[in-house]
Chains A and B, each alone.
Chain A
Amino acid sequence: MSTPTPPGLRTRVESLGGSFLSVLEQAGAFLLLFLAILRRLPVLFARPRLVAAQVHFLGNYSLAIILVSGLFVGLVLGLQGYYTLRRYGSEEALGLLVALSLVRELGPVVTALLFAGRAGTALTAEIGLMKAGEQLSAMEAMAVDPVARVLAPRLAGGLIAVPVLATLFSAVGIMGGWLVGVGLIGVDQGAFWSQMSGGVAFYDDVLNGLVKAIVFGLVVTQIALYFGYSARPTPEGVSRATTATVVVGSLAVLGLDFVLTALMFSGF
């Protein structure tokens, strides 16, 4: 035996290796669950009611927070944008600034973050508690596939709800920017809208933002479902799972945002 490693160092390295392996394991389980749900999505076309119920639960119930947040973000963008643009004598570009910021970035990203916090945690807690109360096992024992009956509709619901919410966030934000810029500060109404429509491209900006929202919706919802499904059936387990949904979901959104932005907007 060569020189023995000090015990503190060895245990620390061991635990590092252990956590790395467990993260890999979790990532693998996550991917397997995702594929399992994807395989069951086509069946949902025959059961639109299940999906509609989830779009209602995830989308309609998040509407309030999304609209209010969108308005506030738009108001702040209008204010901050004005003060910055004024230094270069370009106040008239305020509409353009607000619209591009929202449509390309803030709309999809902030919506996804808020969604992870509001709807994602609700999903995780719901699935975790269903699992703890043996409802999912009961379903299986009744020859009903819980992944198809419970998880797949929720993924579809999130996939539909998030892009709609992101669109509304951007729209309301732009109106908030208009309220502050044109209404409060007095930027020229015509310049506000014409510079905006001149500079915002539908395919490159609006649609790319929509694609981002779709990707974020898929990822955040899947993360929420995974942590709920794999939660320990105890109060602590469910609590940890909801925290994980928010943390991992938010980081995933921000990381993916960078990747997608680099892919989509690097041409400029």
Chain B
Amino acid sequence: MQAKINLAVGAFLVLGLLGMLFLALKVSNLMGASVPKGYQVYALFDDIGGLKPSSAVRSAGVLVGRVQSIDFDDQRYQARVTLLLDGNVKFPKDSSAQILTSGLLGEKYIGLQPGAETDMLASNDRIVMTQSAVVLENLISQFLYNRSSSEPSGSAPTAGQSDSLGLPGLK
């Protein structure tokens, strides 16, 4: 009788453990959060939008790393994003990082576009070319600004901002 109870309780707990494993691995991103043999690089952004730590870093749509941490640089008044990239993947020193959105309701991720140099990014290097997240209010004000100033002369977008419709462009 006691043996039967022990068996049932053991099975119950094992079932619970399996359920928890399912929730951890398939449902949430526990495994995905750790990238093996990675190296860190960082990038500065004017506005990170809704980018969060452990957001994805993709290149050509493929996951190549994760956002490790996001801090505020109070010398330059910019966001300093630390990326953990997969050790098997190398990027040229002049690669660019943009903050993109996946899907309409989707979340922010970082897209890496490779550059043309032969030297590769090493650990603790900085990605110089960055494109901030699209912020809706800025978009609207730009649109209105461009419309109102399109008669006299279309003024060039200020440094550090994307062009009028927020299309990705290099800084």
Contacts from A to B (Cβ < 8 Å): 49, 52-53, 55-56, 59-60, 63, 88-90, 92-93, 99, 103, 160-161, 163-165, 167-168, 170-172, 174, 193, 195-202, 205-206, 210
Contact = CB atoms under 8 A, between A and B. Distances in A.
Contacts of A49: 2
A168 B27 CA distance: 13
Given A63-B12, A167-B19, A56 B5 contact: yes
Interface string B90-106: 00000000000011111
A97 B20 CA distance: 19
Contacts of A193: 26
Contacts of A52: 5-6, 9
A contacts with B: majority SS: helix
A167 B23 CA distance: 8
B35 interface: no
B29 interface: yes
Interface of B: 2, 5-6, 8-9, 12-13, 15-16, 19-20, 22-24, 26-30, 32-33, 54, 56, 102-107
Contacts of B33: 202
A162 to B, nearest CB: 10
Nearest to B14: A164
Contacts of A170: 19, 23
30 contacts: A53-B5, A56-B8, A56-B9, A59-B9, A60-B9, A88-B104, A90-B105, A92-B103, A93-B103, A164-B15, A164-B16, A167-B16, A167-B19, A167-B20, A168-B15, A168-B16, A171-B27, A174-B23, A197-B32, A198-B29, A198-B107, A200-B27, A200-B29, A201-B28, A201-B54, A202-B28, A202-B30, A202-B33, A206-B24, A206-B28
Contacts of B5: 52-53, 56
Nearest to A167: B19
B96 to A, nearest CB: 23
Contacts of B20: 167, 206, 210
Contacts of A99: 27-28
Contacts of B9: 52, 55-56, 59-60
A197 B104 contact: no
B13 to A, nearest CB: 7
